[in-house]
Amino acid sequence: MFEVFRNAWKDTNLRRKILYTLFIIVIFRFGSNVFVPFLDMSAISELMGDESLLSFLDTMTGGSLSNGTLLAMSITPYINASIIIQLLAVAIPALEKLQKEGDEGRKKLNTITKLTSLGLAILQAVGFYFLLNARGAVKYTEGFSGVLAAITIVICFVAGASLIIWLGDQINEKGIGNGISMILFAGIVARAPAAVWSLVQSMTADMKNAILVPIVGIIFILMIGLVVLMTNAERRIPVQYAKRVVGRKMYGGQSTHIPIKVAMAGVMPIIFAMSVMALPQTICSFFGIYGDGSSGNDFWEGFVRLFSQASWLYAVLYFLLIIGFNYFYIAIQYNPVEIANNLKKNNGAIPGIRPGKPTADFIQNSLSKISLIGAMFLAFVAIFPIIFRQLSGINIALGGTTMLILVGVALETVRSLESQMMMRHHKGFLE
């Protein structure tokens, strides 16, 4: 990876793109320190508990949410919009048609995604305001009404989310690409020093932690290796194309393969599962039930605590949901029947398997086995920090989900730089 960056830095055009990308990331971090008026940072920080979905969102935003800054929502509206459009593309033929129209179709889908993310940003900003207001995190300045303060907060949050999308587009157009992913990567990395300092403080505070923290470091390195291994792992189904003669020329006859990645769904199943597990707490919070005993309703307080990360029920349901959503996400992204038909049209076949339905069944069986391995991997990575925290009492701020994102973005960036260097056809440049 470092060799790729070193070679990319030698190229003047790529060096300019890298510097421009770093400039955009600096703007992003600057916006993460522009505070929104009428918000009490100390009250917001109390909401970012270890057992709350907000703590994960705070990690994704690089601490902007807990500080009540302009970019508090970061790219979460855009991610949610992307997921919604992907799911709707399966049910709506017009969106499915756009997916198959090449660059023009992708541009139209991107525009639809941005408009959807704007609507979600408004809804999310309004929801954040009501949540913060209910928990006493909104403070009114003399001379300003509550309505004006609410409008100001919502507009700032929505403007910040729109700015994030614009910054991501600038990286795509003038930088090294993967704009939204790069911003997400920068936000998570920005939390790394605070996470390391928290571990150091816990190590100095307790002799027990002094032994466990080095173990955490070793586990962290091993987890990175596991994530890299599973992210690059794939099952290759061999394909042989038949020879055909057109005029005086012979076409086909080459051997290739269909790659099926083990972690094909990426981090999406974890995000789906996390959203579902957060629903009970989110709904109850609108009625003033937070699981801390403040409402006085023992039944619903206990119900909310069952869906906190301190509960073993949460870990079990979380594990099962990730496996289920992994199969669901792959099912809507990967169509074995369509692949089998395309192979048949192009005179291709899997050795030893008849074309048509037998080929589709073979691909489906292979996909199911690989999906199970990938689902178990994602579920293990996601719940390991939860189990470790319950057994040791040490909170791992950069958990398995963030590690998947970091490794995935890093590998994708390296592949993007390699492809851009290969397009320049410099002989011996990569040697």
1-191 CATH, one of 3.10.310.70, 1.10.240.10, 3.20.20.10, 1.10.3370.10: 1.10.3370.10
CA pair distance 327, 269, nearest whole angstrom: 9
Q: Could you count the other beta carbons within 10 Å of the beta carbon of residue 332?
A: 12
What is the model's pTM?
0.80
Rounded to whole angstroms, how far apart are CA atoms 16 and 293? 56
Token pair 């705070």 in the structure block, residue: 58
Return per-residue pLDDT of the chain as tens, 431 residues: 677 778 888 888 888 999 999 999 999 989 888 888 888 887 787 776 544 566 667 777 777 888 888 888 888 888 888 888 887 887 788 888 887 787 788 888 889 999 999 999 999 888 888 878 877 788 866 556 678 888 989 999 999 999 999 999 999 899 888 888 888 888 888 877 777 777 777 667 666 666 777 777 788 888 888 888 888 888 889 988 877 666 666 666 678 888 888 888 888 888 788 878 877 877 777 677 766 666 677 778 888 778 777 778 888 898 999 999 899 888 887 888 888 898 888 888 888 888 888 999 999 999 999 999 999 999 998 888 888 777 776 666 556 778 888 888 888 888 888 887 777 655 444 44
Kindly state the helix (H) or strand (E) to which residue 237 belongs, with its residue range.
strand 234-241
- Domains of the chain: which residue ranges? 1-191
What are the tokens at 79? 């991610």
- DSSP for 168-216, please give it: HHHHHHHSSS-HHHHHHHHHHHHTHHHHHHHHHHHHHH-HHHHHHHHHH
Q: CA nearest 65: which of 35, 27, 37?
A: 35
Helix (H) or strand (E) holding 334: none
**Gap between the Cα atoms of 141 and 37, Å rounded:** 9
